[in-house]
Amino acid sequence: MKTILVLNTGSSSVKASLYSIGSPNAKEPSKILTAHGEKINTEDSFINISILVSHIESIQRKDASKNSLHRSNSLQLTSRATHRQEDQDENESNVKKLLITEPNLSHKQAILCIINSIKEVYPNVIESVVAVGHRVVHGGDLFSDSTEVNDEILEKISSVSHLAPLHNPANIEGIKVARDIFHDNVKNVAVFDTAFHSTMPPYAYNYPLPKEYRDEGIRKYGFHGTSVKYVSQEASKILNSMNRNSKKMIIAHLGSGASVTAVVDGRSVDTTMGFSPLSGIMMGTRSGDVDPSIIPYAMKKWDKSEQDVMNDFNKKSGLMGVSDGYNDMRCVTERAAKGDSNALLAIEMFTYILSKHIAGLLISCCGEIDALVFTAGIGEHSACIRRLTIRRLSVLLGGMKVDDDKNEANGTKSNGIISCEDEENINRCVALVVPTDEEKMICEESEKFLK
Q: Please choose, from the candidates 47, 229, 78, 248, the residue with its C-alpha nearest in 3D space to the C-alpha of residue 145.
A: 229
- Pairing assessment for the beta strands 129-136 and 187-192 based on DSSP bridges: parallel
Instruction: Judge whether 381 is annotated as a binding position.
Output: yes
DSSP letters of 13-81?
A: -EEEEEEEE--TT-SS-EEEEEEEEESTTSTT-EEEEEEEHHHHHHHHTS---SPPPPGGG--PPPTT-
Instruction: Judge whether 324 is annotated as a binding position.
Output: no
Residue pair 149/179 in contact (Cβ under 8 Å)? The answer is yes
Instruction: Judge whether 70 is annotated as a binding position.
Output: no
Q: What span, in angstroms and rounded, lies between the C-alpha atoms of 80 and 415?
A: 48
Cα–Cα distances in Å, from 162 out to 156, 168, 180, 340?
12, 8, 24, 41
Q: What span, in angstroms and rounded, lies between the C-alpha atoms of 5 and 431?
A: 34
How do the residues of the chain divide into helix, strand and coil, expressed in percent and rounded to 5? 40, 20, 40
Instruction: Judge whether 234 is annotated as a binding position.
Output: no
Instruction: Judge whether 391 is annotated as a binding position.
Output: no
Instruction: Judge whether 378 is annotated as a binding position.
Output: yes
Instruction: Judge whether 118 is annotated as a binding position.
Output: no
Q: Give residue 396's Cα distance to chain centre.
A: 29
In degrees, to the nearest 5, what angle opens at C-alpha 185 toward C-alphas 179 and 191? Answer: 50
Instruction: Judge whether 377 is annotated as a binding position.
Output: yes
Residue partners of 175: CB distance under 8 A and separation at least 6: 134, 136, 149, 154, 157, 188, 190
Instruction: Judge whether 254 is annotated as a binding position.
Output: yes
Instruction: Judge whether 380 is annotated as a binding position.
Output: yes
Instruction: Judge whether 57 is annotated as a binding position.
Output: no
Residue partners of 70: CB distance under 8 A and separation at least 6: 181, 183
Instruction: Judge whether 219 is annotated as a binding position.
Output: no
Give the single-character DSSP code of 209: S
In degrees, to the nearest 5, what angle opens at C-alpha 160 toward C-alphas 211 and 253? Answer: 90
Cα–Cα distances in Å, from 432 out to 234, 283, 370, 375, 415?
11, 21, 11, 9, 8
Of 87, 145, 193, 437, which one is the catalytic site residue? 193
Residue pair 284/327 in contact (Cβ under 8 Å)? The answer is yes
Whether residue 193 lies in the annotated active site:
yes
Q: What span, in angstroms and rounded, lies between the C-alpha atoms of 34 and 17?
A: 4
Instruction: Judge whether 15 is annotated as a binding position.
Output: yes
Cα–Cα distances in Å, from 412 out to 17, 28, 231, 261?
24, 21, 15, 23
Instruction: Judge whether 22 is annotated as a binding position.
Output: no
Q: What span, in angstroms and rounded, lies between the C-alpha atoms of 28 and 25?
A: 9
Would residue 318 be called left, alpha or beta, if left means φ above 0 and alpha means ψ between -120 and 50 degrees?
Answer: left
Instruction: Judge whether 157 is annotated as a binding position.
Output: no
From the annotation, which residues make up the binding site for substrate? 135
From the annotation, which residues make up the binding site for ATP? 15, 253-257, 328-330, 377-381
From the annotation, which residues make up the binding site for Mg(2+)? 8, 438
From the annotation, which residues make up the binding site? 8, 15, 135, 253-257, 328-330, 377-381, 438
Catalytic residues: 193
